[in-house]
Amino acid sequence: MDSLLPARFKEGKAAPLAWWSNSEALFIWSQTELGNASVGGILSLDLKSGSVSENSVLRGRKTKLRNVRRIDCKSKFLLIAHEDGSELFTRAGNFIRHWATPNVRLRHQ
C-alpha cells in the first residue's frame, strides 16, 4: 500500500484498516507511531486514481479518534473500534450508537 500513497503521506506511517468499496481503502496515518497516534479522521485511498481524502462519514466529527484498532464495513454500516469504545454509523454518515467497549463486531446487515 505504501507505493500507492501520495508522497506527503510517506513521511509517516500508514495502516490500512478496511475496504470501503472495490476501489477504495480506508486507512489511518501518523507522523509518529500508529499505536500512540491521535487520529482526526479516517482517510480514504482511491486505488484507481491514487488520491487521498478524508472519509465523508467522519468529516464533521468534533473529537479525535485515538488508537483506532479496527474498522468493519458492511454494505449498510461502518463500525469503528477505538480507544474510547466503538461507534456505529450508516455508510451515509448518520451516527447510530456508541458502546463503551472497543470489543464490538458487526455480524449482520
Residue numbers of the domain that contains 14: 2-99
- Angstrom CA distances, 58 to 3, 61, 73, stand at 25, 5, 14
- Residue 24 resides in a domain: yes
- Residue 105 resides in a domain: no
Q: Are 43 and 50 in contact (CB under 8 A)?
A: no
Q: How many domains does the chain have?
A: 1
pLDDT of residue 99: 93
Q: List, in order, residues 6 or more apart from 103 with CB less than 8 Å away.
A: 81, 86
Walk along the chain (109 residues) and give the pLDDT tens digit of each residue.
667 776 666 677 777 888 888 888 888 777 666 655 555 567 888 888 888 887 777 666 666 677 777 888 888 898 988 888 998 988 888 889 999 998 888 875 4
pLDDT of residue 108: 59
If you search the block for the grid coordinates 490500512, which residue do you land on?
Answer: 16
